[in-house]
Structure 1
Amino acid sequence: HRRLRKDNLQQWVQLLSRLFTKNSTSCLIFYDLLFEKHDHGLKLYLLDCPIDDIRYIFEQICEQVLQATYFHVLEKNQQIHEANLNDNHETLIINIDNNLLILMRKFIEQLINLLDKAVVEQVKHSQGYFQLIYSYMKMNKNSIDDLLKLNTFTRLMNFLLGENIGARRWNSGQAKEFGIIHEIIATLVLAGNLTKETSNEQDLQLKNQMEIYFYGKCANRYLKEICYAFQEISPSQLICTVQLMEILSLANLSFS
């Protein structure tokens, strides 16, 4: 901690970013070192650490390793694709389930699992945590699919609203920092395309979960939270949330 605070923190991030991008082995080493602490590594540096700079820098480092992981996976996909073309074979859709991809998904799973308890306990330190989820979500379509498969939508709703739908979980001072949570929720819903017809069992389950908060027993509670959000948070931080509200207000009396 002392060494990081003494030196230029941003230079450390830039150095590690170049290293992660240049060499996939460095990404593997990062994941392995983090997982030595089992599921406590992310919690320790993203939530429990009392030093703001350390949490902020660790979030940036995690963001860089996730971006680099996708870079290496896509690069490998391209190499296989070119090899198929050179061999005059038909283009194959290949699912690369290599060790790097497995470790990244383990990382994301542990990250989302923290929502159930650890983030609630350390909500005052949670900005970097939610920023990391947001940054990962924005990387590509695969990252959104990963988050949806991990039930991130429902977990975020549980975090935001709590179990008591008759009372607000967080006070105004806390909730004014939650613009990014509303944006993550809205982006996941928009990507999931709530209005489309589907026969896929997983998509149906997700759609049913979403409808609880938009048309079912939790709709009024969620709508109240959205109204609070627009009072407490700048509209410039709620772009996707506005888009979601426009969609939900169609043929939905409670949101109109």
Structure 2
Amino acid sequence: MRYKEKPMEVISVRNVGKSFGGIPVLRDISLSVSTGEVVSIIGSSGSGKSTLLRCICQLETIDSGAISICGEDMASTDSGSGLVSYADKATLKHIRSHIGLVFQNFNLFPHFSVLRNITEAQEVVLKLPHGQAVETARTLLAKMGLTEKENAYPCELSGGQQQRVSIARALALKPEVLCFDEPTSALDPELTGEILKVIKDLAAEDMTMVVVTHEMAFAKDISDRVIFMDDGIIVEQGSPDSVISHPTHERTRQFLTRFME
């Protein structure tokens, strides 16, 4: 476990609920993430972990509760009416700039080169000059070990290389926190290691991260805290050793036993 000095809260989720078609997916979820912290969220398919991440990243709206990012209120629930209200568009846009998201399936633009996939958002979202965007992109590609691939197109890359490009694209926008939604689930096992190494290197640099993952050994290795979700609730959370190696809840033990099998 890594130790931080005077952490500040960058994500605050309070009593959040979310349903699809009348079926609850998130039930009264509360959690916080502090600067420099790496939080891994584990659980079986349908437990709500990816939905929680999507709500934090504004890809889904919540039905109840409140979310704040870097001290700014993104969504809140009126105590009288029970209705959820979101911040104005300008505030939501500013909040989005604090969070980067790396998807399961890369989501690269197939008709853009690797370099343009990384420069485009910098120029459109951050309004950076082209030369500055290119410089940042090349620095990140070098960090990802992909310098020689800047003129390639996504279809010419392996899955692991595509995911490294998507991580570089997210980092190019200089987010306060980086979220990963099962970043290795679309990869062959032999390519998984290279992505896990990149994330581990980011953790060593004190990048604030929330990682939805099914890689238990990886979660135990990099996380400051592990959260186990089941049926839309947080069943257990704590240090990696306590949750993964010595869980206290029977449901956590059942999940880990089946997973290891």
TM-score normalised to the size of structure 2?
0.26
Higher share in strand: 2
Higher relative contact order, chain-length normalized (CA < 8 Å, sep 6+): 2
Higher share in helix: 1
Higher gyration radius (CA): 1
TM-score normalised to the size of structure 1?
0.26
